[in-house]
């Protein structure tokens, strides 16, 4: 059983070390796999327990329980009860993947889902042309500048004011919308953001700063507002937790489970939830689900939000 005990202890140590991700960038990357740690350590702990390695088994299961504390709220929590009579809107968020050429499939999916707001990340000029010429009933907003190859493409059905904060690597990589949905008594403020993937120390620092920009933006809002995007961070990442607390935001994932959105092309056991929508307490979530990947390495994220009047 030593061949099970040693890997179990190593995995348990990695799981605990990942809590130091706020200070070491690559440990924060490891924190993204809390759900995998939970499952693996539970299985390994039970195997050790059945093999009479009780002390090690209890230690491994204790670390599994620590991970459970952070994963369980996604399943056990629940949004406020939805009221069909109150105004609502549907948001679609999707990282297209820079090499994706499934233009027709994506356009037809937008038609079938009928979202009120659409955010398409890693959108290049060919995607802009395809969307603009598709005859969709949306205003199309290009957030990237001409000197960049990729940026975020926004589709909106109603009048909107948009401000781009820039999509270069050292810019916030975000676009702000001031939006008045049909039948809503208040204006909705939106920040769509696509921070860098934390693949190196420098990129991780930039990712953290871009998420911190979103946190600062949210902390200055009131009324209905939300942050949406491919954040390249899971709910267990230190910058994500700071975004929730500093921005006074609620994770739309709560009550709807793990919903791992990346990598769509990998084994399901290794996928993680990095596509998010976080909202103020003047909104609730009627539904949240993942759609198909449509040629991308991400799944589509669809969130139905509902207005909540002040008590």
Condensed to tens digits (0 to 9), the pLDDT of residues 77-106 reads 777 677 777 888 999 999 999 889 999 999
Residues 6+ apart with CB under 8 A from 208: 198, 238, 239
**Res 4 pLDDT > 80:** no
Q: Average per-residue pLDDT in the chain?
A: 92
- Does the residue 276 lie in any domain? yes
- CA atoms of 162 and 159, how far apart (whole Å): 10
In three-state secondary structure terms, 128 is: helix
Q: Are residues 104 and 203 in the same domain?
A: yes
Answer yes or no: do 60 and 92 share one domain: no
Q: Are 152 and 194 in contact (CB under 8 A)?
A: yes
The C-alpha R_g of the chain, in whole angstroms, comes to 20
Claim to verify: residue 34 and residue 104 sit in the same structural domain: no
**Alpha-carbon distance values, 77 to 35, 157, 258, 284, 287 (Å):** 16, 32, 12, 13, 14
Residue 82 lies in a domain: no
Residue 266 three-state SS? coil
Q: What is the pLDDT of residue 230?
A: 97
Q: What is the CATH number of the domain that holds 219?
A: 3.60.10.10
The residue range of the domain holding 159 is 88-307
Question: Which among 94, 35, 91 is positioned nearest to 67, based on CA atoms?
Answer: 35
pLDDT for 80: 66
Residues 52 and 170 in one domain: no
State yes or no: pLDDT of 47 exceeds 70. yes
Q: Is the pLDDT of residue 72 over 90?
A: yes
For the chain, how many structural domains are there in total? 2
Task: Tell me, yes or no, whether 28 and 141 share the same domain.
Answer: no
Q: Are residues 128 and 171 in the same domain?
A: yes
Mean pLDDT of 108-129: 94
The rounded distance, in Å, linking the Cα atoms of 228 and 285 is: 13
Residues 29 and 157 in one domain: no
pLDDT of residue 121: 96
- 299 and 150 within one domain: yes
220 and 248 fall within a common domain: yes
Q: In 3-state terms, what secondary structure has residue 70?
A: helix
The partner residues of 164 in beta bridges, in order of sequence, read 175
**Each residue of 260-301: pLDDT tens digit?**
999 999 898 999 999 999 999 999 999 999 999 999 999 999
Q: Tens digit of pLDDT for each residue in 197-239?
A: 999 999 999 999 999 999 999 999 999 999 999 999 999 999 9
Domain closes at, from 71, 102, 126:
71
Q: What is the pLDDT of residue 130?
A: 93
Q: Same structural domain for residues 22 and 122?
A: no
Residue 288 in contact with residue 264, Cβ under 8 Å? no
- The mean pLDDT value for 34-49 works out to 93
């Amino acid at each position: 059983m030593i061949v099970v005990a040693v890997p179990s202890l190593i995995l348990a140590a990695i799981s605990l070390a990942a809590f130091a991700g706020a200070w070491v960038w690559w440990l924060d990357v490891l924190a993204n796999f809390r759900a995998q740690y939970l499952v693996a350590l539970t299985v390994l702990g039970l195997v050790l327990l059945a093999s009479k390695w009780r002390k090690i088994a209890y230690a491994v299961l204790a670390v599994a329980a620590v991970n459970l504390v952070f994963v369980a709220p996604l399943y056990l929590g629940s949004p406020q009860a939805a009221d069909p009579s109150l105004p609502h809107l549907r948001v679609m968020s999707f990282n297209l993947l820079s090499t994706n050429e499934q233009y027709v499939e994506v356009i037809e999916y937008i038609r079938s889902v009928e979202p009120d707001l659409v955010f398409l990340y890693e959108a290049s000029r060919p995607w802009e042309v395809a969307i603009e010429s598709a005859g969709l009933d949306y205003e199309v907003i290009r957030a990237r500048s001409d000197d960049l190859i990729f940026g975020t493409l926004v589709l909106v059905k109603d009048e909107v004011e948009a401000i781009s904060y820039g999509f270069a690597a050292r810019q916030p990589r975000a676009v702000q919308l001031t939006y008045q949905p049909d039948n809503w008594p208040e204006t909705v403020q939106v920040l769509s953001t696509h921070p860098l993937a934390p693949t190196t120390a420098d990129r991780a620092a930039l990712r953290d700063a871009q998420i911190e920009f979103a946190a600062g933006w949210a902390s200055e809002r009131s009324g209905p507002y939300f942050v949406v995007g491919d954040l390249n961070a899971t709910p267990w990442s230190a910058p994500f937790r700071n975004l929730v607390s500093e921005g006074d935001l609620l994770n739309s994932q709560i009550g709807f489970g793990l919903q791992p959105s990346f990598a769509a092309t990998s084994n399901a056991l290794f996928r993680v939830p990095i596509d998010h929508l976080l909202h103020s307490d003047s909104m609730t979530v009627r539904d949240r689900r993942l759609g198909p990947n449509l040629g991308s390495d991400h799944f589509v994220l669809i969130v139905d939000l509902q207005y909540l009047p002040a008590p």
